[in-house]
Structure 1
């Protein structure tokens, strides 16, 4: 079954990055999950919770608002367990993710944005509305589902601690729903409160304001489009108490780093993975990392889900012969 292959993903030291930044850097390869992303963990926990507590009838429809990865994971698990799946994505979702959702049998509805439950044009609003109108449907609602944090608290956090043999000083994670950083941060802080939990988001996203306990402007400027991370509303699946600092990066810097990393390492990074690398590059001086530090960075998915957005000629890549490897 799928559940038997979720988690226990590789954590590998990246020698080139370690040399470049003068510190130990390990990559948690979440794209090795069967659904291709870290969202397999969350999807499994949310599905099991729904089934256990009779929140969905047998053969019912799992509904979610997703930038793609959670939707793909839900579709994969729902198909195996005999359920249906309907995913609401924003118009910015990559072509590759939408195609994968359709091939997994999910119904896909494209919405104007993902600006939260109060915006009638958002994925969250439309997903909830659909579920409310269809008794056979259940809205997993990853942005407000406790299972989002719990999945990473119970699995990803302990894996990192075990794989690093407790010798981890920093973790750098992209912030979308906030569940990954909250679950990992909660577990690792319990093990060692001195571990620094750092988040990454696009310019003009609001997580940095939340962590710094600053007011959020009513007229929030649209954040840079980095698929999978960034928010204009505060998700219930985010726990700011376990996050020490948030670094912002631009979409332009992220794209440049994605191309640079792919050429140097012959590996396609996902969009938010590239954002984490961009944050490391842009804010290295502020981070003040020492040679004795041991940092884990999380790669939630693979670059094959962003070929058109990040690596095609249309995305600004002028070299057609890249020689990438799929890992």
Structure 2
């Protein structure tokens, strides 16, 4: 008989699979290292074992203790599997942008999960990393492993992932591509490959737009992808390892993630799509003698209600649903990401100043309140303020004309620029307006009355066309 005594014995030695359809026509061979075939469904299983064993070895983690970790889900699953094997409790903090499916997976393994706001700075006491540190102080027998600074994070890839890649490719690998999150994978595996190849292997990182890795001097902005990018450089990342870092948009990454499932039968997470986009860009400029390996870190099981849900991606302007046959909002309204169809104001602008600006904006019905600047991400929008709400506030004796506009802003629904008026109207519920999104960016505001008018016009057009066809 052949069997394992524990799931932990199955971690690592994940296979390489050639990307055939999405890489068709490219000169270089592109192989994917499928890390979701680890028992916990991601590359993070590798670091989970080594971090726990290190905490045991130095006496910080004792029998019956509690493992605490800030995680976007995958590291938590790996730690939960290790904890179940060794008899520890798990307490995880997750940013609120993490897919609900991933939170359910963590809880299914018996972990306690605390949800924290994703858009606050790292040092804010409400951030998921700050909350994890506080919980360690408050919980007896608890250990915060902290993948962002733990030396076993990159070491696990130097000792495991890197040697596997070299062995599996018989030393023929010329380019290694990986997304950068904590930085452990690219730092550890990349350092090994550079050493064993005497510098011949090129190491390329993939990074979401808005992250610091690909633009250290630029502003940190929110993005839709989970588990990749950072607002600041973690200690687990070695910036001397990557030879190049490629920036990838949410739209490119999510589109490629869906293609991997439908064209390669690889059901992966959004960071895998991001890495694949970067790998294909690299392969475009190479030769048939080159071999590109891209690491796909996790499974798509935690993204079924997001990336693989047609409505979710359509409402973010990332996908035009072919079943939605009416004229799309971008064809009917003057929408623009660079100059959104709305007044955009900072949260601290006074009510009086906002009213003055609104009076000088022809046809202005709503103000978008945000601390950001175009191109705006949806997560940067504090809320909308309708013209009538602003007027009411200025006549309210309980308010002052110098109160900030943010004090009367409310969250509204969002719809995609690629949706029809009738499809968009379904998301308004009782709200009077919605933010319109194109490829993840704010491009305007549409009111319920406008959607009603556009829907009636489309219905009338369809009726005329039907009548003509029957005559």
Do Structure 1 and Structure 2 share a fold, with TM-score over 0.5?
Answer: yes
User: Is residue 22–residue 260 contact of structure 2 (8 Å, CA) maintained in 1?
Assistant: no
Highest relative contact order (Cα 8 Å, sep 6+), 1 or 2?
1
* Partner-residue secondary structure (3-state), 2:186: helix
**Number of the residue aligned with 2:200:** 194
Matches within 5 A, 1:102-251: 102-113=107-118, 117-192=122-197, 193-209=199-215, 216=217, 220-251=219-250
Which of 300, 305, 329 is matched with 1:303 structurally? 300
User: Is residue 115–residue 231 contact of structure 1 (8 Å, CA) maintained in 2?
Assistant: no
Report whether the alignment pairs 1:74 with 2:79: yes
Q: How far is 1:263 from its partner?
A: 2.2
Query: Which residues of structure 1 form unaligned runs of 5+?
Result: 211-215, 321-327
Query: Which residues of structure 2 form unaligned runs of 5+?
Result: 1-5, 314-318, 324-471
Higher share of residues assigned helix: 1
User: Is residue 30–residue 279 contact of structure 2 (8 Å, CA) maintained in 1?
Assistant: no
* Partner-residue secondary structure (3-state), 1:25: strand
* Partner-residue secondary structure (3-state), 2:307: helix
CA distance in 2, matches of 1:197, 1:263: 28
**Number of the residue aligned with 1:294:** 291
Give the ranges of 4+ consecutive aligned residues of structure 1 lying more than 6 Å apart after TM superposition: none
Q: How far is 1:259 from its partner?
A: 2.2
**Number of the residue aligned with 2:18:** 13
CA distance in 1, matches of 2:310, 2:191: 41
Higher-Rg structure is 2
Residue-by-residue CA offset, 1:221-263 (whole Å, 9 max, x unaligned): 3142211111101100000111101001111121222223322
User: TM-score, normalised to structure 1's length?
Assistant: 0.90
**Number of the residue aligned with 1:84:** 89
* Distance change (3 Å), C-alpha of 1:59 and 1:78: same
Q: How far is 1:266 from its partner?
A: 3.3
* Partner-residue secondary structure (3-state), 1:27: strand
CA distance in 1, matches of 2:71, 2:264: 30
* Distance change (3 Å), C-alpha of 1:29 and 1:266: closer
Report whether the alignment pairs 1:55 with 2:60: yes
User: Is residue 75–residue 101 contact of structure 1 (8 Å, CA) maintained in 2?
Assistant: yes
Report whether the alignment pairs 1:312 with 2:295: no
User: Is residue 22–residue 263 contact of structure 2 (8 Å, CA) maintained in 1?
Assistant: no
User: Is residue 269–residue 301 contact of structure 1 (8 Å, CA) maintained in 2?
Assistant: yes
CA distance in 2, matches of 1:128, 1:105: 21
CA distance in 2, matches of 1:308, 1:61: 30
Residue-by-residue CA offset, 1:148-171 (whole Å, 9 max, x unaligned): 001111100000000011111001
User: TM-score, normalised to structure 2's length?
Assistant: 0.63
User: Is residue 116–residue 233 contact of structure 1 (8 Å, CA) maintained in 2?
Assistant: no
Q: How far is 1:41 from its partner?
A: 0.4
What is the Cα-based RMSD across aligned positions, in Å?
A: 1.8
